[in-house]
Amino acid sequence: MTAAPVLAVDNLSVEFRTRGGLVRALEHVSFEIGKGEMVAIVGESGSGKSVTAYTVMGILDPAGRVSTGTASFGGLDLLTTPEAVLRDIRGREMSMIFQNPRVALNPIRRVGDQIADVLLQHGNVTRPEAPQRAVDMLTRVRIPDPARRAKAYPFELSGGMCQRIMIAIALSCAPRLLIADEPTTGLDVTTQAAIMDLIAELGAEQGMSTLLITHDLGMAAEYCDRIVVMHAGHIVESAPTAELFAHPRHPYTAKLIAATPRPAVSLIDLAAIPGNLPDLRQADIPPCRYVARCERRLPRCDQALPRVLGDHGDSMVACWNPL
């Protein structure tokens, strides 16, 4: 990546104090997103994708603590920036689409008012202008009859409509970075495609960078420039999308691809990934958290993970015995 990245996460480690013990949710996570790029973080549920997003946004659960690392946004370290500054950045320069729009939206406020709230807070818009600007945003996200829909409450709208409202809120101030956390969860396939097309199109229009959090490797393949693969709080591989699918290097990445439905593969040929994620409360978690599930493990896998870069420096695999 030649130009300075919009977001650069370096050596990020996050732990949670729980009644069951200390959970080391993220360990030494590093990745970058360039201007206008869409980058996916993929992996099973519980691999740390959403924790990464919440940490970057500064909305980590109070039980969570960043133990190491930085998250630089335009030269500003988000992890040490005062909350008052973060509140000004969130919504204006970086925004997030949450997994469940019905939970994220305020159930007792009309959706147009919720868009107007963000515009008034961050968008240099006067109070008389805000309602029409909110309707304009609903038009941009292709909601039919936007003036009427602006007066609706979230419970009066479908799941797809609510997700479009979330996109309108997130993009209302033309942020430089959008984090989309499972933005199509619970939607039918047709609506999923429409939502992702919309995010990609608006991102291209605004020159916006996008971090897509998803367990759907097929979606990542269709829309993203690069893919970051997470397993149990570790980044095990990252590469340009075409390269990752053509030549996966980490055994876990290969298993994920083998478990992903594809046009040329019948359902009967899909292979489940054996085993489960390790218990991150263990005091003696091995350096490679995939080792118990791996068919290529070696004695040296008990050593600290290597970080092997590709020939052009745009790919990485953390494995002693890559494919």
Domain stops at, among 174, 203, 218: 174
CA-to-CA distance for 275 and 114, rounded, in angstroms?
44
Q: pLDDT averaged over the chain? A: 93
**Residue 323, in any domain of the structure:** no
Give φ, ψ of 27 to 5 degrees: -140, 115
Predicted local distance difference test score (pLDDT) of residue 322:
95
- Structure-token match 């990445």, residue found: 253
Instruction: Give me 81's structure tokens.
Output: 């920036």
**What's the DSSP call for residue 229?**
E
Same structural domain, 119 and 183: no
Same structural domain, 264 and 142: no
- Is there a contact between 288 and 311 (Cβ–Cβ < 8 Å)? no
SS (H, E, C) 14-35: EEEEECCEEEEEEEEEEEEECC
Predicted local distance difference test score (pLDDT) of residue 22:
94
Same structural domain, 210 and 122: no
- Counted domains in the chain: 2
Residue 277, pLDDT > 80, answer yes
- Is there a contact between 207 and 238 (Cβ–Cβ < 8 Å)? no
- Is there a contact between 164 and 115 (Cβ–Cβ < 8 Å)? no
**Which of 122-131, 153-162, 259-268, 283-292 shows the lowest per-residue confidence on average (mean pLDDT)?**
259-268
Residue 1, pLDDT > 60, answer no
Same structural domain, 182 and 265: yes
Domain stops at, among 142, 174, 206: 174
Predicted local distance difference test score (pLDDT) of residue 2:
61
Residue 319, pLDDT > 90, answer yes
Same structural domain, 179 and 279: yes
Predicted local distance difference test score (pLDDT) of residue 66:
97
**Residue 162, in any domain of the structure:** yes
**Residue 322, in any domain of the structure:** no
Same structural domain, 252 and 268: yes
Same structural domain, 30 and 122: no
Write down the pTM of the prediction: 0.94
Task: Please give the residue range of the domain that contains residue 210.
Answer: 7-93+175-317
The helix (H) or strand (E) run that includes residue 297 is none
Residue 281, pLDDT > 60, answer yes
CA-to-CA distance for 196 and 183, rounded, in angstroms?
8
Domain stops at, among 139, 174, 209: 174
CATH number at residue 25: 3.40.50.300
**Residue 1, in any domain of the structure:** no
Give pLDDT tens digits for 6-25. Answer: 999 999 999 999 998 999 99
**Residue 223, in any domain of the structure:** yes
Same structural domain, 22 and 76: yes
- Structure-token match 């940490």, residue found: 55
Predicted local distance difference test score (pLDDT) of residue 99:
86
Give pLDDT tens digits for 215-250. Answer: 999 999 999 999 999 999 999 999 999 999 999 999
Instruction: Give me 24's structure tokens.
Output: 């080391």
Same structural domain, 134 and 209: no
